[in-house]
Each structure stands twice: as structure tokens, then as C-alpha cells.
Amino acid sequence: RKEVEQDPGPFNVPEGATVAFNCTYSNSASQSFFWYRQDCRKEPKLLMSVYSSGNEDGRFTAQLNRASQYISLLIRDSKLSDSATYLCAVKDDKIIFGKGTRLHILP
């Protein structure tokens, strides 16, 4: 089993809809968790950290489920500008990334 797994998509979602991604990780000792956004031919940039109690930043909500070893990202009221690849990342002694989930927001 790979250390960090994501559904590669693509997710094709109409503008204004809600979309959710999950990411599973194999190392139960992982200490911290992140969601990154990557635009085409650009470097990944931090979208949000994921805290144990869950956290929200505007239209974005991140959750952590340690018992089932997954993190999730929920995007509400999606915008065309949300089209990108979303990478989850998990830290133990190093940071390991999933392969990313491609999201296309359709007008």
C-alpha cells in the first residue's frame, strides 16, 4: 500500500457545487497533514493545514480522521478559479505527497 493515496480524478463539477476529496495514509505515526494546490506548470502551494479538530478557511473545510487514517477537503460554492490539482501531504520524519486529484470546475 502506498504511503499516501488519492483518487486522481478528474472531478468535473459545475460552478457553485460542493465537492469533496479524500486522502488515505498508511503511517499511523504521521504527525501533521496538509492540503496543497498546484496549478498547471506551477509549484505546489499550501492551501491549508489540517488540524485534529478540523478547520475551515472560507469555502474550504479540512477534516482529519486518525482512526481511519484519512484526511478530507471540502470545497463549497466552487468557483472557476478553483480548477487545479489538489495534493494531500503527510508528515512523519519527511513529507510525503499523494499523486493529486484534478478538479475541473465547469461554467
Partner 1 sequence: NAGVTQTPKFQVLKTGQSMTLQCAQDMNHNSMYWYRQDPGMGLRLIYYSASEGTTDKGEVPNGYNVSRLNKREFSLRLESAAPSQTSVYFCASRIPGNTEAFFGQGTRLTVV
Select from 89, 90, 103, 105 the one that contacts partner 1 (CB under 8 A): 89
The yes or no reply on residue 46 touching partner 1 (CB under 8 A) is yes
Q: Which is nearer to partner 1, 79 or 91 (CB)?
A: 91
CA 70 from centre of chain: 10
* Buried-state track 64-103, b at ≥16 Cβ within 10 A, e below 16: beeeeebbbbebeebeeebbbbbbbbbeeeeebbbebbbb
Cα dist. 17→28, 69, 74, 79, 104 in Å? 33, 27, 11, 9, 12
Q: Which is nearer to partner 1, 70 or 97 (CB)?
A: 97
The yes or no reply on residue 96 touching partner 1 (CB under 8 A) is yes
* Strand, coil or helix: 8: coil
Q: Which three cell numbers stand for residue 38?
A: 498546484
Q: Which is nearer to partner 1, 91 or 104 (CB)?
A: 91
Select from 87, 90, 103, 105 the one that contacts partner 1 (CB under 8 A): 87
The yes or no reply on residue 95 touching partner 1 (CB under 8 A) is yes
Positions touching partner 1 (CB under 8 A) are 8, 31-32, 34, 42-46, 49, 87, 89, 91, 93-100
